[in-house]
Each structure stands twice: as C-alpha cells, then as structure tokens.
Amino acid sequence: MSAPFVTAGETVSAIDVLHIELSADGLKGRAETMGVDYLGETVASMQAELGQIDEPALATLSGADLQAILPPGGSRNGLDCALWDLRAKQSSGGIAALTGIPLQPIETLYTLSLDDPENMARCARDVAHLKQLKLKLNAQNTLQCLEAVRGARPDARIVIDANGSWPESLLMALGDDLQRLKVALLEQPLAPDQDCRLQNLRYPVPLCADESCQASGDLERVADCYQAINIKLDKCGGLTDALRIRDWCHQYGKQVMVGNMLGSSLAMAPGTVVAQGADFVDLDGPLWQSDDVEHALKIVDGCIQPPVSELWG
C-alpha cells in the first residue's frame, strides 16, 4: 500500500492477492481476487478450494455451473471473473455485448483512513481534486472527525463507513448531525448480528449493508433493514452474482453501491460493469497501491475510464 489503510477493525500496509488465468484456443481470461479476510479467507485457502476442481471440469465450466460448485467468496470471484474475461475475449463485442451493459466512465469515492480529526481534515484538503469522499470512522471522536472533514471540504459528497463498529446509542445520537452535515450514506453502522435493530428504522440518512450482506442469498434477510447494498465481487463470488444483486436492487428500489476489498486495476475492472448507473462507486483500490498491473485503469480526478480489453473484458 502507498500508505497504511486504517479502518475501525484493522490497519492494512500490504495485501496478498491471487491471480487466476484461464487459457483456451490461444486466448486468456484473467482475474484477481483477495477474498474476504474478516471471514478468514487467505490466498492459501482459496488455492486449496480451487484445487479441488479437476481439469476436465474446468474445461467445460460455465458461469452458471460455477454458482453451484463454489460458495460465495474469493475463490468463486476469481474463477467467475476469469471466465467472464475469457468469454469476452471470445466475443467480438466484449463484456458489454455479453452483459448488455454499455460501459461509460464512472466517478469513484476516495477513502480517507481513520485518524484524528485534524489529520482527516488535512487529508481531505490534500485531495481537493476528488469530489467524493468515504470516511472510515469508528466510535471515537466520530462527530468531531466528520465536522473537521466537512469544514475542510464543504464541496464534497461524503459517505461514512463504520465497519460495524458503532453501538446503537451512537447511531441514534448522531442521526440529526449526519443529516445536518449532509452525509449522503452511512455504511454498516452496527455489527451484522445487530441488523434487527435497524428493521423498519426511519433514519435521517440512508443506511447501507456491507458486512451484513455478502451475496444475493442475504438480500431478503436485510431488505427491511437497509436502503442500500454494497456489492463487492470478493464477497458475493464474482460478476455473475454481483449482477444478480444489482438487478434485485433495481427491482426493489434499493440504492446500489459498488465497493472493493482493495486490489489492483485487474480486481476493479469487473466492478466497472456492475457500477454502471450505480448510486455510489467505491473502486479506489488502485489509488491506494504503490504500483499496479499492466494496462491499468485510467483514473483521473476520481473518474475511472472503462478498462481496455488488454486489462480485462
């Protein structure tokens, strides 16, 4: 990482990822996956899981088959996105033709690590060219950090990510302040096992499920608790299920956020498909890395151009 990435639950200085490559008829499909670290997934565990699929099964594997073979998570994400890339390479229209979703530039949030109010305000001023900010905030100095950033950046669209660290009392106490300070979205305020506290709650700002909604199978359970869903490919197990979640959100009037677990441009590229028309896009992983893959996504002032086919899709 180019700098420590600090959340309510951890400090990340480097990440380990798994790169997957599928070859057929002289073409290659690629993907990158990190897995869900807070569920115990590692590169070694993903390699072991993928190693259980034998070569004959891989040769005839379809995206639909994969949903039954592997559970949601990093292993399925990597293999699913590599399959999509391979199919895109085999198609004259690429990923847009396969999905029916034209790819346009999208604007990503930029994450500010958890810190004291003064440092978070300074970091916000340092990225004055970025107009959408996501603040990592825990239960300490929460309002002070938010007020400091808002004071430094009255122009910015602000999202808060609590990573499940807030007690219910803090959530209830801060509602009016979040509305006053024009917070656009509050992501995962309570721990996932506290979702029942949010059921049918009329909160001043929209609430977004992250850790509480891993894959499409969780949607009905959280439907009455959240107004938005954060879709992450590593969580749900790839582009196939991500598009299923996207469609469900559109059908039931939920806001769509497309997030990431950190990673290179190769990890973000499939997310640009899901992010088309999304209410919130959080694909800033490459901006946090000290280097990137070849044919990296072009990101200028927070605007992400569609991936070139040499990268993915």
**pLDDT per residue as tens digits for the range 264-302:** 999 999 999 999 999 999 999 999 999 999 999 999 999
Q: Is residue 41 part of a domain?
A: yes
Q: Catalytic residue numbers?
A: 136, 232
Q: Give the residue with greater pLDDT, 10 vs 114.
A: 114
Q: Is residue 209 part of a domain?
A: yes
Q: Is residue 5 part of a domain?
A: no
Q: Is residue 270 part of a domain?
A: yes
**Residue 235: partners with Cβ closer than 8 Å, 6 or more residues away:** 36, 72, 73, 213, 214, 215, 261
Q: Residue 55 pLDDT > 90, yes or no?
A: no
Residues 94 and 137 in one domain: no
What element of type H or E holds 185? strand 183-187
Q: Is residue 12 part of a domain?
A: no
Angle of helix 74-90 versus helix 43-50 axis, rounded to 10? 60
Q: Residue 176 pLDDT > 90, yes or no?
A: yes
**Residue 67 belongs to what domain range?**
18-99
Q: What is the pLDDT of residue 122?
A: 98
Spatial distance between the Cα atoms of 56 and 59, rounded to a whole number of angstroms: 5
Confidence band of 57 (pLDDT split at 50, 70, 90): confident
Confidence band of 59 (pLDDT split at 50, 70, 90): confident
Residues 130 and 257 in one domain: yes
Residues 75 and 164 in one domain: no
Angle of helix 142-152 versus helix 168-180 axis, rounded to 10? 20
* Residue appearing with tokens 């993928």: 50
Least confident of 9-13, 223-227, 246-250, 277-281: 9-13
Q: Is residue 91 part of a domain?
A: yes
Residues 126 and 61 in one domain: no
Spatial distance between the Cα atoms of 100 and 88, rounded to a whole number of angstroms: 12
Q: Residue 37 pLDDT > 90, yes or no?
A: yes
Q: Is residue 7 part of a domain?
A: no
pTM: 0.96
Residues 152 and 271 in one domain: yes
Average pLDDT, the chain: 97
Number of separate helices (H) and strands (E) present in the chain: 13, 15
Q: At which of 64, 99, 134 does a domain end?
A: 99
Q: What is the pLDDT of residue 9?
A: 87
CATH number of the domain enclosing 121: 3.20.20.120
Residues 246 and 161 in one domain: yes
Q: At which of 82, 99, 116 does a domain end?
A: 99
Query: Total domain count for the chain?
Result: 2
CATH number of the domain enclosing 62: 3.30.390.10
Residues 143 and 231 in one domain: yes
Q: At which of 80, 99, 118 does a domain end?
A: 99
Residues 94 and 111 in one domain: no
Spatial distance between the Cα atoms of 172 and 238, rounded to a whole number of angstroms: 35
DSSP states along 38-66: GGT--HHHHHHHHTTS-HHHHHT--HHHH
Q: Is 32 in a helix, a strand, or coil?
A: strand
Contact 19, 31 (CB under 8 A): yes
Q: Mean pLDDT over residues 198-205, rounded? A: 97
**Residue 251: partners with Cβ closer than 8 Å, 6 or more residues away:** none
115-159 tens-digit pLDDT: 999 999 999 999 999 999 999 999 999 999 999 999 999 999 999
Q: Residue 43 pLDDT > 90, yes or no?
A: yes
Residues 227 and 161 in one domain: yes
Residues 73 and 45 in one domain: yes
Contact 40, 74 (CB under 8 A): no
Residues 155 and 22 in one domain: no
Specify the amino acid at residue 221: R
Residues 275 and 146 in one domain: yes
Closest CA to 132 of 263, 298, 299: 299
Q: Is residue 10 part of a domain?
A: no
